[in-house]
């Protein structure tokens, strides 16, 4: 099977910037705590427009960057943990608005590992000869599920969207995808309560054992996720490199989910790799879940950091718990 090539990228980032000082007005925290524990200085926060409007902008930019029109797209894979609707899917809404009349549509919820899962899916679809151009769109409006009374999580998350157009490429490709559903209680945001015309309303928390938490708001056991991430990320990178038949040193760029700079530093040290192989922009965006890796790819492409044949490893981890890495040649 062939590799993949990212031929276009685009982003849409809300204009409003929230600094650490802004959070000091909401919860008891400090710039020093947030910076040293997470590496975050600012994040972008939605003005209240729906997520699909960000998706449309990043998708259109990626398609134009690829030198294509929307009608050239064969499949849209949209990733989000914060879609606007239970139904229809975000991919269908975006397809209609950008006029991608020939595109099939799929939404996936793989939290912060979603770009890696989507790239792996794209490559498998591209291996058949009936699809040529696949649009991956990652959009998050995490501010709508963020609990602004919980200082240990509210300082972490930001909003944003990024998109990539993927086509079949010449170079190598490998992936390693994993999950540990036993850790599902470590990060969650519940959906609607269970109710219908024939039963009294039931609460999900009476069944799932995750514990009491505010409706729809994101709960995270930061220490548990930290432990998971610092093991899962190096493991996924090693397994993907092994499957690609390359050494870790041969990887030119590691484009990791931006959750916490300390997680990236720990992963680099566990892998014995110099930290400059890791791209970092968490200081400016915070954690944007499934948008974070494609935002990095867009910035890196804009800065001409990729050269033909460079080996790029994308790696993500998040709620599920879920994780994965993929290696491809630029």
Does 20 interact with ligand ACO (rule: CB under 6 A)?
no
Q: Which of residues 27-46 bind ligand ACO (CB under 6 A)?
A: 29, 33-34, 37-38
State the pairing for strand pair 134-141/159-169: antiparallel
Q: Does 229 contact ligand ACO by CB under 6 A?
A: yes
Q: Whose Cβ is closer to ligand ACO: residue 285's or residue 330's?
A: 285
Q: How far is the CB of 26 from ligand ACO (least distance, A)?
A: 10
Which of the residues 162 through 221 are near ligand ACO (CB under 6 A)?
187
User: Binding to ligand ACO by residue 141, rule CB under 6 A?
Assistant: no
Sign for the pseudo-dihedral over CA of 55, 61, 67, 68: positive
Q: Please state, in angstroms and as integers, the Cα–Cα distance from residue 292 to each residue in 125, 136, 173, 323, 329, following that order.
A: 23, 13, 21, 14, 20
If the CB atoms of residues 21 and 170 are measured against ligand ACO, the closer one turns out to be 21
| Residue in 112, 154, 164, 296 annotated catalytic | 112
Cα–Cα dist 283/325, whole Å: 23
Is 112 one of the binding residues for ligand ACO (CB under 6 A)?
yes
* 51, 161 contact by CB (below 8 A): yes
DSSP conformational letter for 147: -
Report the helix count and the strand count for the chain, using DSSP H and E.
11, 15
Catalytic (active site) residue 257? yes
Quick check: 289 binds ligand ACO (CB under 6 A)? yes
Sign of the alpha-carbon torsion through 271, 36, 260, 65: negative
In angstroms, the Cα distances linking 316 to 52, 87, 201, 282, 288 are 23, 26, 36, 14, 12
> Active-site residue 112, yes or no?
yes
Phi-psi region of 145 (alpha: psi -120 to 50; beta: other; left: phi over 0): alpha
How far apart, in whole angstroms, are the C-alpha atoms of residue 38 and residue 153? 11
260 is annotated as an active-site residue: no
Q: Are 106 and 91 in contact (CB under 8 A)?
A: yes
**Is residue 152 a contact residue for ligand ACO (CB under 6 A)?**
yes
CB 97 within 8 A of CB 103: no
The single residue of 44, 133, 253, 257 carrying the catalytic annotation is: 257
**Catalytic: which of 287, 296, 298, 313?**
287
Nearer to ligand ACO, 59 or 233 (CB): 233
Instruction: Name which position in 102, 185, 222, 270 contacts ligand ACO (CB under 6 A).
Output: 222
DSSP secondary structure of 150-215 = -HHHHTTB-EEEEEEEEEEESS-EEEEEEE-GGGGGGEE---PPEEETTEEEE-THHHH-S----T
Residue 92 binds ligand ACO, judged by CB under 6 A = no
Q: How far is the CB of 205 from ligand ACO (least distance, A)?
A: 19
Among 16, 41, 151, 270, binds ligand ACO (CB under 6 A): 151
* Site membership for ligand ACO, residue 225 (CB under 6 A): yes
Question: Could you say whether residue 319 binds ligand ACO (CB under 6 A)?
Answer: yes
Nearest distance, CB of residue 161 and ligand ACO, angstroms: 15
Choosing from 8, 138, 158, 318, the residue that interacts with ligand ACO (CB under 6 A) is 318
Number of residues that bind ligand ACO (CB under 6 A): 23
Radius of gyration of the chain (CA): 19
Among 5, 20, 287, 292, binds ligand ACO (CB under 6 A): 287
Kindly list the residues in this chain that would bind ligand ACO in the complex (CB under 6 A).
29, 33-34, 37-38, 111-112, 151-152, 155, 187, 222-223, 225-226, 229, 259-260, 263, 287, 289, 318-319
- Residues that are catalytic: 112, 257, 287
């Amino acid at each position: 099977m062939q590799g993949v090539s990212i031929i276009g990228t685009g982003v849409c980032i809300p204009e409003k910037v929230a600094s650490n000082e802004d959070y000091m007005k909401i919860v008891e925290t400090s710039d020093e705590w947030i910076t040293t524990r997470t590496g975050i200085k600012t994040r972008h926060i939605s003005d209240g427009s729906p997520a699909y409007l960000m998706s449309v902008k990043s998708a259109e930019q990626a398609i134009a960057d690829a030198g294509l029109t929307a009608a050239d797209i064969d499949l849209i894979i949209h990733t989000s943990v914060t879609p606007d609707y239970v139904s229809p899917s975000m991919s269908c809404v975006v397809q209609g608005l950008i006029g991608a009349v020939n595109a099939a549509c799929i939404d996936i919820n793989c939290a912060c590992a979603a770009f890696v899962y989507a790239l792996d899916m794209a490559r498998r679809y591209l291996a058949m000869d009936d699809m040529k151009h696949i649009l991956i769109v990652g959009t998050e409006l995490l501010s709508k599920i963020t609990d602004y009374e919980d200082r240990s999580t509210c300082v972490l998350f930001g909003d944003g969207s990024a998109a990539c157009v993927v086509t079949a490429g010449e170079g190598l490709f490998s992936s390693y995808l994993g999950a540990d559903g036993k850790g599902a209680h470590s990060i969650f945001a519940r959906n609607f309560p269970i109710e219908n015309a024939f039963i009294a309303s039931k609460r999900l928390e009476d069944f799932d054992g995750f514990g009491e938490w505010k409706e729809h708001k994101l709960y995270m056991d930061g220490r548990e996720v930290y432990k998971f991430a610092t093991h899962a990320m190096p493991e996924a990178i090693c397994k993907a490199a092994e499957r690609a038949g390359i050494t870790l040193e041969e990887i030119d760029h590691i484009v990791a989910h931006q959750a916490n700079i300390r997680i990236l530093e720990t992963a680099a040290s566990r892998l014995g790799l110099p930290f400059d192989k890791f791209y970092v922009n968490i200081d400016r965006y915070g954690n944007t879940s499934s948008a974070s890796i494609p935002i990095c790819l867009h910035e890196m492409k804009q800065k001409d950091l990729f050269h033909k044949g460079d080996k790029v490893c994308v790696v993500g981890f998040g709620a599920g718990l879920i994780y994965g890495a993929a290696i491809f040649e630029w």
